[in-house]
Structures are given as C-alpha cells and as structure tokens.
Structure 1
C-alpha cells in the first residue's frame, strides 16, 4: 500500500501519543514531533510505500524519547484483557460441536475481533473496560468479508504474521484449528519492540511456542515486514507457504507491496486509507483472501 496524504496526520498523532507514554518532558515531546515531521518530509514522496515512511518516523520517535518500548504497559494490559475474554470466546467457537470448517470460520472471526487492540490509532479506541462487550457484539454480527471457506482448503503449511499483543491470545484459536486439520504453522513476530506488536519475548511469556511448529522474526523493529531487513529464513518461509495469514493494517501495508500469495488479510479496517486501498468500507471485519 502506498502512503496516502491522510496517513501523515495520523502518523504524527501516533508519535505524540507514544511520546506522552514515555515522558512528561514537554521539550522532548516537542522535539519528537518536530524531528519526526522532518523525517516525514524527507521520506514521503509520491508513490512511496506507507511502511517505509512509518518505520522511519517511529524509529526517530523512539530515538528522541529514549525508550525502545513505550507501549510496554499497554501490551501487558492488552494481554490481560484478552485472557479475560478467552473462555467466553472459546465457548462461542465450539458451541454446538461445529465441524472443523465452521470452527475455523469462528476462530478467524475471533482473531479478527482481536485486531481491535490497537492503542493510539487516531479516531479509534476500544478500551479494555468495554472490550468483552465489543467482542460479543461483533462476534454475533460476523465477518463483513468472509473468505474462510477458501482459506480452509489451504492450511497445509501456513505462515502466520502476527500483529498486536492481546489479539495474539485470540489468534491461538486459529492455531489450534490449523493443527487439528493436520496443518503446519510458522508464526512470525517482530524482531524488536515496535508499537504494541508481538515480539519473541512476548511469545515466550505467553508460551506460544507450544502452539505452533516454529517461530521466526521479521529481524527488526520495522512497521509490518521490511523485506530488505528480513532474514533469509523468513523469505524462504513465505515462498514455501500454502497460505500466508497476515494480521492487522501494518502487515497489510507492507505485504501488499510485494507479489506473494495466496495471502489472507485478517483485520479491522480502522482507517479510511487502508479500507479504500482494499476496496472496502471503514469499520469492516475482514478475512479477505488474495491470490
């Protein structure tokens, strides 16, 4: 996905948000915003990929605020909130003893709802105090784009590119269903902390290694996947996958820039730029397969 003019003010809003998470030093916050504006001015050109700009901007912000994980407490909060809703979500997925195909569809829906965990997105906020209610409402509403039937045929060798903490706990329902079909799962997480995204440290803390066949990282703290910084092992995994499952908007912004597939995008369209690029409406619950 290419950078959209609307991304500029959303990105700077996010810089302001994370700077205030890290410090109450007004001068440092001012510096973070102004220097990130300079980075954006130098990187945002017609046709440039959104991930290139956002990665450069957030790296500069982290440098200025002198904190490589300003979202740490929010990541912990997201995980604890997801753990509270987990038992009810499991009951819904396996209610009335569904077929594997139907249980997979429900698990995908639960994982997509988990994508609501995304603190700092301008104009979008689902607090931990209402997430359980939000989960139930969206679950009963269902997916707005539902390609799960086609996805279900492609589960032999899945590469699952994770997004945020919190939602990763709900992603485990999908892992379980893929394993029940006899499929193999490679989980991909960030190489270093960035926003609320899952890292290897989170994988170990949540014992996710037991849920999948192997875990790889993106090799760095880029937004989404920076292919020029990605380990060769990850690139080979993408090439050999029967299906790539991509969680969240940042992964969409970067993976959609590269010819690869089949790839299933699981996300909430939380902004107009991503929704428009996908040919959808803002506010959709999406499980969209692209070949």
Structure 2
C-alpha cells in the first residue's frame, strides 16, 4: 500500500517528538528538522509505502542524533504495563462465551500501544471498548474454521507491550493444538517488537521466536531473511498484526490464509478502507 501525501505530516510530528526528547539544543533541532523537510520535499511520497517513508526519515534522525533506538524506554515501560495486565487478560478469555474471539479482540486491543501512529492512548479504555465492538471487517469465522484443525502458524508481531496481548492469544492457540512461530523485527524502528521484548515478556520461553530480517515498521518483502521467508511461504496460515504489516504485505497476492489484525489509528487509512477511526479489523486477504 502506498503512502498518502498526508503521511508527511505524521513524519514531521514524529521527528519533532524525537527531537524534543533527544536533541541537545534548539539549533541542533532546527538543523536536523531542515534535513528531514528536505528529504520529504525530494521524495515522491505516494510512490513508497508508509514504513519505507518512516525509514527514510528515521535514518536521518539516527545518523544525526547517533541513537539507534528512540523508544527503548517506552518499550520497556509498555512491556511492564502489559505484563501487569496479563493475568486479567487471561481471566477475560477463560470466562468468555467464545474464548478464541475474545483472545483475538484483546490481541487487537493491544495494537493501540503505538508510539508511531498515536501521540497518546488509553490502554484500559481500549480493552473495555474492544470487547463490545464488532469487527468492521470480519473474517473471523473463516479463521475459526481453519484453526479447528492443527496448523503451523506464522505470527508477525507489531509493537512492544502489544506482544503480551499476542501472548495471551497464542497461549489459547497452543491449547487448540496449533503450532506457532513468532516473528520480530531485526533492528529498532519506532516501538516495534524485537527479540529482547520476546525474552522480556516470556514469549520466547513459550514458543520459537525468529527475526524477520525487516528493519522497517512492517515486513518488507525485499528484506525477508531465508529463515523467515521459509516460514512465510510454508506455514499453513499467517497472522499479521498492526498497520505496518498491513501496509507492507497486503495486496501482494502471494499466498492464501493470510490474516491482518489491527485497529484503525490513521484517518487516511480509514478513508482508504472505508472505515472509521478506532474500528477493529480481522481481515483475510483474498485474491
């Protein structure tokens, strides 16, 4: 999916947030912002996808600030906050009329933990509302049918903190005789999940966790490493969490049984999909 012209405003907002946190002076902030604006002005924004645009901007910020992970503190705090909720999430799933549906909705609720798309978010409110919401795009029945028998599932993670919500969903899938491999990014970008987050939250002790090779806020096909590509091609089904994975993998028409789970956090993406902000989506790509 290609970027919208309006994505440039989000890039400027992200840049200012990072500069306000990490730059040492207004002069430095101004000089780096000029480089970002120059890069945006020289880019045909609608020719690349949003994660590629993010990488173009963040590479400038990383080079000029000499920092590779702008959100390391936020990721650790998000993991801690989500782990404090883990027992509560499992109780909600266990007491539900349809535990699989509830686990899926809670996994999507965790998608609100996003320091790239959102300046602020209310996790507890999101948990409360998402359980009452219906999927704006609803292919859950198809997924439920597929997991009624054993499958090899490749689960593409999105953000730190959110990974704990994924963990509760995966725990239920394991009980239903599914085999799950979890994929993380290979380098820091935004607050996307890394191998250290999988270890920190206990997911790596529960199932195999691999790096995708991707250094963008999604899963860029050209960056897939050999191990990940093998799982991507040969798994029975794929669960792809978050907007970044949707923006990089939707529309490729490269395989069947690929499901995208996310919460709409961008009004322009919402308009593109004819959805509203905060809608929750359980979408199977069909072709």
**Structure 1 CA distance, aligned partners of 2:54 and 2:197?**
23
Q: What is the number of equivalent residue pairs in this alignment?
A: 282
**Structure 2 CA distance, aligned partners of 1:90 and 1:143?**
21
1:268-287 per-position Cα deviation (integer Å, ceiling 9, x unaligned)? 10012222333322220111
1:63-88 per-position Cα deviation (integer Å, ceiling 9, x unaligned)? 12211111111111211221222222
In the other structure, the counterpart of 1:137 is: 129
Residue 152 (1) aligns with residue 148 (2): no
In the other structure, the counterpart of 1:180 is: 175
1:27-74 per-position Cα deviation (integer Å, ceiling 9, x unaligned)? 232233221222223332543323322221112222122111111111
Contact kept, 8 Å, 1:105 with 1:149, in 2: the verdict is: no
Residue 271 (1) aligns with residue 266 (2): yes
Secondary structure at the counterpart of residue 83 of structure 2: helix
Q: CA deviation at 1:179?
A: 1.1
Contact kept, 8 Å, 1:246 with 1:265, in 2: the verdict is: yes
**Structure 2 CA distance, aligned partners of 1:263 and 1:276?**
22
Q: CA deviation at 1:267?
A: 0.9
Secondary structure at the counterpart of residue 131 of structure 2: helix
Please tell me the root mean square deviation across aligned C-alpha atoms, in Å.
1.9
**Structure 1 CA distance, aligned partners of 2:229 and 2:184?**
14
**Structure 1 CA distance, aligned partners of 2:81 and 2:46?**
40
Q: CA deviation at 1:211?
A: 2.4
Point out where structure 1 has 5 or more consecutive residues left out of the alignment: none
Q: CA deviation at 1:236?
A: 1.9
Secondary structure at the counterpart of residue 158 of structure 2: coil
Secondary structure at the counterpart of residue 6 of structure 2: helix
Pair 67,211 (structure 1): closer, same or farther in 2 beyond 3 Å: same
Residue 104 (1) aligns with residue 100 (2): yes
Q: CA deviation at 1:8?
A: 0.9
Contact kept, 8 Å, 2:3 with 2:47, in 1: the verdict is: yes
In the other structure, the counterpart of 1:40 is: 40
**Structure 2 CA distance, aligned partners of 1:267 and 1:151?**
15
Pair 56,182 (structure 1): closer, same or farther in 2 beyond 3 Å: same
Higher mean alpha-carbon deviation, 25-34 vs 56-65, is at: 25-34
Secondary structure at the counterpart of residue 153 of structure 2: strand
**Structure 1 CA distance, aligned partners of 2:217 and 2:139?**
26
Contact kept, 8 Å, 2:116 with 2:190, in 1: the verdict is: no
Residue 254 (1) aligns with residue 252 (2): no
**Structure 2 CA distance, aligned partners of 1:198 and 1:46?**
27
Secondary structure at the counterpart of residue 92 of structure 1: helix
Secondary structure at the counterpart of residue 154 of structure 2: strand
**Structure 2 CA distance, aligned partners of 1:36 and 1:257?**
29
**Structure 1 CA distance, aligned partners of 2:219 and 2:84?**
30
Residue 200 (1) aligns with residue 195 (2): yes
| TM-score, scaled to structure 1 | 0.89
Secondary structure at the counterpart of residue 141 of structure 1: coil
